[in-house]
Amino acid sequence: MTSTADVRERRRILRRALPRFRQVLPGMLSGIAMGLAIVALLATSAWLIVRAAEQPPVLFLTMAAVGVRAFALARAVFRYLERLYSHDAVFRQLASLRTDVLRRLIPRAPAGLTDRSRGSLLTAVVTDVDELQNLSLRVVQPIVVAVTVAVLSVAGIALLSPTAAVVLAITLVLCGIGATWATSTVAGASERSLAPKREELASAILDYVQGFPVLVHYGAEAAARERVRMADARLTRTALRRASGFGLSAAIIALLTGLAVVGAISVGSTLVMPDGTGGPVFAVIALTPLAIFEVIGTIPVAVNHWRAVRSSADRLAATLPEELPVEIPREGGAPTGTSAPTDTRLTLQGVSARWPGAEENALTDVDLVVEPGESVLIEGSSGSGKSTLANVLVRFLEYGGSYRIGGVEARSLGDVHATVGLCEQHPYLFDDSVRQNLLFARDTATDEELLVILDQVGLGDWVAARGGLDARVGERGALVSGGQAQRLSLARALLRDFPILVLDEPTANVDAARAGVLLRDLITAATSTGRSIIVISHDDVPAPLIDRRFSMREGTLV
C-alpha cells in the first residue's frame, strides 16, 4: 500500500515534471488550432464536393475551395508549431528535472543506495525520468486539445442540426468511456508490470555483459544467457498484452465512429429537401464525425500514458525520496562556514553508526585517536564493522557520539572529503586513459607530476610499458589487475593530497602471494609525505609499517 508520504512525493515529482503554464500555452493553442483545422478541412471538403455536384456557378465554390487549401496548410503548419513549442517546453523542463534527480541522488551515494541494483538505478534515473516528459506531451496536452476540439465541433454541428449535435455528443462520450475502459482493464495491468520487467531485463543484460569472462570461465554463460532470454520473453508477453488493450480500444473507437456516422446520416437526412437542397449541409453533418473521432482517439492513449507516468513517478519517489535517511549526513559535503583545520589529529569518542534501513548499529562505542603522521592498522574479520568505520570517517554515514578533526566536530567542518580521503575496496576506474583517471583528482596536474605519482605507487614501469599516460584501463578497469587498480586509486589520493588517508581492504582483490608486497608499497607511498594513514584490513601488516594496531570485534575496537 502506498503511504501518504509516497503519494505526496509522487505529486511533487509530477508537478516538477510539468512545464510552467506560459511555456506550454503556445503548444497547446497550436494543438487546438490543428485539431480544429482537421475538422474544418473535412467539413469544408464534404460541403464542396456535394455542392459542386449541383453544378452551381463557379463563383459559389471559390471560397470553399480556398478554405480547403487554407485548412490543409493550417493543419500542417499548426502541427509543426505544436511539436516545436510543446517539445521545447518539455525538454527545457526535463533538463531541470534531471538536475533535480542528480541533486537528490548525490547525497545518498554510496551508503544510501546499497539496497538498489545498478539495473534499477539505471531504469529510475534514465527511463523513468524520460517517461515523465510524457506527462505534458502525451497526457495533459492531448486531453485538453481533444476535449476543446470536441466541444467546439459539437457546438458547430448544433448550429446546423441540434439533434445531430446531441447524437454526436452521446457517441463521443461513449467512445471516451469505452476506449478508456479497454485501456484501463486490458492494458492497465500489463502497463504496471512493464517497467519492473524492463528493469529485470536491464539487470540481466548488465550482469551478462559485465560478467561475461567469469561466466565463460565457470561454464555459467549459457545459464546467464538463458536468464536474459527469459526476461526478454516475459517483457515481450507483457508488451503484447498491453498492445491487445490498445487494439481493443482502437476497435471501440472505430465502432462508435461508425455509429456516429450512421446516427448523423439518420438525423441529417431530414435536412435534404425533395428538390435536393440541403445536400451540402447533410454531407457536413454526416462526415464531420470522422474528423472529430480522429481527435478524440488520443484520449485513451493519454490515459494509458498517464498510468506509465504515474508508475515512473512512484519508482522515482521510492528510489529518491525527498527526505534523506537519518543514517546519511544531512550536509552532503556542502560548506557550513568552518574552514578545514590545520591540525589533523583525528579523535573518535563513543562513535556509533548503522547502515540505512538496518535495525542494529554496525558500530558501537568506538574510541580512536590518530595523531598527525601516524599509521594505524584496524584489523578484524569480515562483517566486524571495519568498512562501516571507513564510511563514517569520510562522512558517507552519519554517526552518533563525537568525531573530531583537529578539535573540530566533523559535522561542523566545511568539507570532510577534502581532509579525509578513501581508497575503497573496489576502486572505480573510468573507461578512459590512465591520465584521465588521475586528472579528475587534480585537473591542473602536469604529465610530469602524474608520472612522479605513478612512480611512487610502483606503476611507473607498467605505464611506460603500456605506452604512457594514454594507455586505456578499460570499462571499470577491465584491462588492469586488482593490485594495479588499488595502486591507481592510491595515486589519485596522493595527487589530491589528503592529510588523512583511509585504506579500506586494499588487498581485497589481490592474491595472497602478492598481498604483502602491495600492502608494503601502498603504506610506504602513503606515509612518505607525513600524512596520517588508517589501514583497514583482515590481512596482517608487518610491524615496521604500522605505529599502532587495533582489532574490530562486533562493531567495537579492542
Categorize the per-residue pLDDT at 424 as very low, low, confident or very high, splitting at 50, 70 and 90: confident
Residue 236 has pLDDT above 80, yes or no: yes
Residue 440 has pLDDT above 90, yes or no: no
Q: What's the whole-number average pLDDT of the chain?
A: 84
Higher-confidence residue: 443 or 41?
41
Identify the pLDDT of residue 188: 67
Identify the pLDDT of residue 334: 40
- Interval 131-163: pLDDT, tens: 888 899 989 999 999 999 999 999 999 998 899
Residues near 228 by beta carbon (within 8 Å), at least 6 away in sequence: 201, 204, 205, 208
Task: Compute the distance between CA of residue 238 and CA of residue 250 in angstroms, rounded to an integer.
Answer: 19
Burial class (CB in 10 A: 0-12, 13-18, 19+), 172: buried
Identify the pLDDT of residue 189: 66
Match 592474491 to its residue by C-alpha cell: 511
Task: Compute the distance between CA of residue 456 and CA of residue 445 in angstroms, rounded to an integer.
Answer: 15
Higher-confidence residue: 486 or 123?
486
How confident is the model over 420-449, as a mean pLDDT?
A: 86
Identify the pLDDT of residue 307: 82
Q: What is the DSSP string of 398-441?
A: --EEEEEETTEEGGGBS-GGGTEEEE-SS----SSBHHHHHHTT
Residue 467 has pLDDT above 90, yes or no: no
Amino acid at 406: G
How confident is the model over 13-37, as a mean pLDDT?
A: 92
Least confident of 216-230, 263-277, 291-305: 263-277
Residues near 531 by beta carbon (within 8 Å), at least 6 away in sequence: 344, 373, 498, 499, 500, 501
Identify the pLDDT of residue 83: 93
Task: Compute the distance between CA of residue 469 and CA of residue 480 in angstroms, rounded to an integer.
Answer: 14
How confident is the model over 422-438, as a mean pLDDT?
A: 85
How confident is the model over 8-18, as a mean pLDDT?
A: 86
Identify the pLDDT of residue 517: 73
Domains observed in the chain: 4-319 (1.20.1560.10), 346-557 (3.40.50.300)
Identify the pLDDT of residue 277: 67
Q: With both helix axes pointing from N to C terminus, report the angle between 279-296 and 221-268 in degrees, rounded to the nearest 10.
A: 160
Identify the pLDDT of residue 172: 92
How confident is the model over 329-345, as a mean pLDDT?
A: 58
Number of C-beta neighbours around residue 280 at 10 A: 20
Identify the pLDDT of residue 492: 87
Residue 337 has pLDDT above 50, yes or no: no
Identify the pLDDT of residue 211: 84
Residues near 407 by beta carbon (within 8 Å), at least 6 away in sequence: 341, 343, 345, 347
Residue 266 has pLDDT above 80, yes or no: yes
Identify the pLDDT of residue 2: 56
Identify the pLDDT of residue 338: 45
Identify the pLDDT of residue 111: 65
- Interval 479-510: pLDDT, tens: 888 778 888 888 888 888 888 888 888 776 66
CB-based contact 197:234 (threshold 8 Å): yes
Identify the pLDDT of residue 57: 85
Q: What is the DSSP string of 38-82?
A: HHHHHHHHHHHHHHHHT---THHHHHHHHHHHHHHHHHHHHHHHH
How confident is the model over 3-23, as a mean pLDDT?
A: 83
Higher-confidence residue: 434 or 6?
434
Categorize the per-residue pLDDT at 229 as very low, low, confident or very high, splitting at 50, 70 and 90: very high
- Interval 343-371: pLDDT, tens: 788 999 999 998 887 888 889 889 999 88
Percent of the chain with pLDDT over 70: 90
Q: Kindly state the helix (H) or strand (E) to which residue 500 belongs, with its residue range.
A: strand 500-504
Least confident of 395-409, 433-447, 518-532: 518-532
C-alpha cell at 435: 591520465
